[in-house]
Structure 1
Amino acid sequence: MDADRFWAAPGISGGLEREGFTVLAPNRLRRPSSWDAEVEHLAPALPGHPVLVVAGSNGCSVAVRLALAFPDRIERLLLAWPATAGDPAVDSRTHIGLTGLGASDQIIRALLDGHTLRGVADAELVTLKMPISVLPSAPENPFHQRQTVDALRRLLPDSDELPGCPEPPRPDFGPHLDQLLGSVTKAISR
């Protein structure tokens, strides 16, 4: 999955640009060895001023790691469709996929470990000070479970929840684009 397929092709990037926002949608590492490697890869894309970071699925883990590493450069987080950590069936399937790509057990453990979000300890999550919005997958699915949103909201009691929708590039996302753009625009404007 790349940024074009996830953010541009479904119309999210273009919709935000039409609303007057500057959108940077860098690609994540294709085969990272750790979440810190992803942060190292994406950090140079951060502008020199505080920004809102909108992240989707496993990108939520990277966004939180960026916010922990660069709290002065992340003004706000929007965690959309946060990927569920610690589900045995999902982790097993992901483990098989990563093994097939040649990842070592050590790398797989590092990528799957975490509490509410992969690669992030709950004790780290609670230290975040910037405003945070959470957008659930609706309907939920095994990879983006409601329990993850609920756990994030418990850990981050000042966070707000945006109306949920399917995650892109699912075929049922299209009719929800305008709602998503409205939610993101509203979160940015707070």
Structure 2
Amino acid sequence: MEQTWRAGLFTRGFGAEPEAGAPAVVLVHGLGLSGRYFVPLARRLTADGASVLVPDLPGNARSRAAAPRAPDIDRVAAALAHWHRRLSLGPVLLVANSVGCQVTAALAARFPDLVSRMVLVGPALDPAVPARRQCGALIRDAPREPLSLLGVAVSDYVLTGPLRCAASFRHALRDSAGAFEANLARVRVPTLVVRGAGDTIASPSWTARVAGLVGDGRTAEIAGAAHAAHYSAPDALAELIGKFTATGPGGSA
């Protein structure tokens, strides 16, 4: 794993360095976190030959100084697009978790030439669920995650800072109440929506709705995993991603 600043964002790189214009996999973390909790999946995808990049989004964790305050979803998506173009990447496979799915939906809607496919893991936030219930769902999910993930999350939240985490949550709520579903409806690339069977945040009905909103969506569920299925079940998710990327539009082989 290589850790360095690239195009203004702290970035972890796995596998071979992607060549200019060549495809790569970009992993997009959730609210207040860093790319550290994607390391198990990044290593697994690299073992299958992928070039994987995992940026800390602006205002978060090691990229906290990349934004003077917590940016809203549109600004994060624009910053990620700028990072993508500065690195001269070809259309990428985006794999996102939680509120990171709102960022990737905005990116794919506004900059469709940068994205080849999307995998949304535990997409949040469901606009039909009030903020208080969203917080309660997060609390209920915590005991279902590996203890090591909770340690990573707590240290990332401290590094990002509680005020920025709170501001980012407000931005995410506003986006979910307005732009999120509209952005999903503008996505035309093949999209796989995955939930852990024990996820208390992304319900089966909501993940099905997300898959139905995009132009070419499908769903999958991972047994024995919760909201952060990419961390607790990286092998199962990598297998799903491998099958997904091997199919054509509409799920054809």
How would you bin the TM-score normalised by the shorter chain? 0.7 to 0.9
Unaligned stretches of 5+ residues in structure 2: 1-32, 61-68, 138-156, 248-253
Aligned to 2:218: 160
Q: CA deviation at 1:127?
A: 1.8
Q: How many residues align?
A: 178
Distance 1:91 1:75, change over 3 A: same
Matched, 1:51 2:92: yes
Counterpart Cα distance in 2 of 1:75 and 1:102: 31
Distance 1:37 1:114, change over 3 A: closer
For residues 44-77 of structure 1, the C-alpha deviation after alignment (integer angstroms, 9 at most, x for no partner) is 3324311111111110001111111210110111
Q: CA deviation at 1:103?
A: 7.8
Q: CA deviation at 1:180?
A: 1.2
* CA contact 1:137–1:145 (8 Å) conserved in 2: no
* CA contact 2:188–2:215 (8 Å) conserved in 1: no
* Other structure's SS at 1:67 match: helix
Aligned to 2:241: 184
* CA contact 2:122–2:195 (8 Å) conserved in 1: yes
Q: Which stretch shows the higher mean deviation, 59-68 or 155-164?
A: 155-164
Matched, 1:27 2:88: no
Q: CA deviation at 1:91?
A: 4.6
Alignment of 1:61-72 (within 5 A): 61-72=102-113
Counterpart Cα distance in 2 of 1:154 and 1:122: 10
As a proportion of its length, which structure holds more strand?
A: 2
Aligned to 1:90: 133
Aligned to 2:150: none
Q: CA deviation at 1:124?
A: 2.9
Alignment of 1:97-112 (within 5 A): 101=163, 109-112=170-173
For residues 19-39 of structure 1, the C-alpha deviation after alignment (integer angstroms, 9 at most, x for no partner) is 000001111232633112211
Q: TM-score, normalised by structure 2?
A: 0.60
Distance 1:178 1:103, change over 3 A: closer
Counterpart Cα distance in 2 of 1:18 and 1:103: 33
- Name the aligned partner's letter for residue 79 of structure 1: L
The CA RMSD measured in Å over matched residues stands at 3.1
Q: CA deviation at 1:104?
A: 8.7
Unaligned stretches of 5+ residues in structure 1: none
Counterpart Cα distance in 2 of 1:90 and 1:32: 23
